[in-house]
Structure 1
């Protein structure tokens, strides 16, 4: 099974950025733990702060992978283009957020990804990624 995690803007700053919201662990350290936990899954990771690069990656792998775990971060609430990319591909996409976006600013209550996604997981910290990967295994 081949699954990719795609992270959007500012998630490269995990461990440094707002630790009270996002925790103190870097995503790279966390990703190593995911690879260890899901040894039978070919896990990949891609991060970009650029909307077009996220769309290009979704299009590139969206017909050949078994799953996409997508945390589009702030683009979740602004990017019709990313939502359209999710809708266009055949690989199932799970939308993930570390925080519960519904407990935050009102603009974060809107997602252009939720409707075309296969599922949405939010508010469980980095554990949200574990849950998304597990959803592809059953």
Structure 2
């Protein structure tokens, strides 16, 4: 069974209560449960982790090397600031999909820049929590193409 890490960054622990007009009413637990269920339907075991700390996200990416077959990352605001996260994704050589619940390209101009996009196989934004499921579908396709 393929292994995928779903990694969520700062403030995503507040899903459901933080700006529901932008991010919806689903909690992070609901999003993670949906990812696990959808992953299971695809033959993928999903592990979820959230941290508000950049170093913890870096450690999780490093620990994924040789263990995880794919990575889905919503790095929150670190998307637009963290060269370290980009370098980590490049260094572990794991197919990575960047996810954002809102359409970052339709928001403030500073959100239009993603360092992670340079290291990811693709980016999904603007579809709310469904973006995570679309990312799982995309990784499942990647796995199938490689086998």
Shorter-chain TM-score tier: over 0.9
Match of 1:36 in 2: 37
Matched positions, count: 138
Name the CA distance, whole Å, in 2 between partners of 1:62 and 1:110. Answer: 26
SS of the residue corresponding to residue 128 of structure 2 reads: coil
- List 4+ stretches of structure 1 deviating above 3 A: none
Name the CA distance, whole Å, in 2 between partners of 1:94 and 1:5. Answer: 10
Is 1:120 aligned to 2:117, yes or no? no
Question: Which digits, 9 at most, give the CA deviation of each residue in 1:75-120, with x for residues without a partner?
Answer: 0000110011011112111111000001111100111100111111
Give the CA RMSD over aligned residues: 1.0
Match of 2:17 in 1: 16
Is 1:64 aligned to 2:67, yes or no? yes
TM-score scaled by length of structure 2? 0.90
Give unmatched runs, 5+ long, in structure 2: 142-147
Structure (1 or 2) with the greater helix fraction:
2
Deviation, 1:29, is: 1.5
Residues 69-78 or 24-33, more deviating: 24-33
TM-score scaled by length of structure 1? 0.96
Name the CA distance, whole Å, in 1 between partners of 2:35 and 2:88. Answer: 26
Name the CA distance, whole Å, in 1 between partners of 2:87 and 2:38. Answer: 32
Give unmatched runs, 5+ long, in structure 1: none
Match of 1:105 in 2: 108
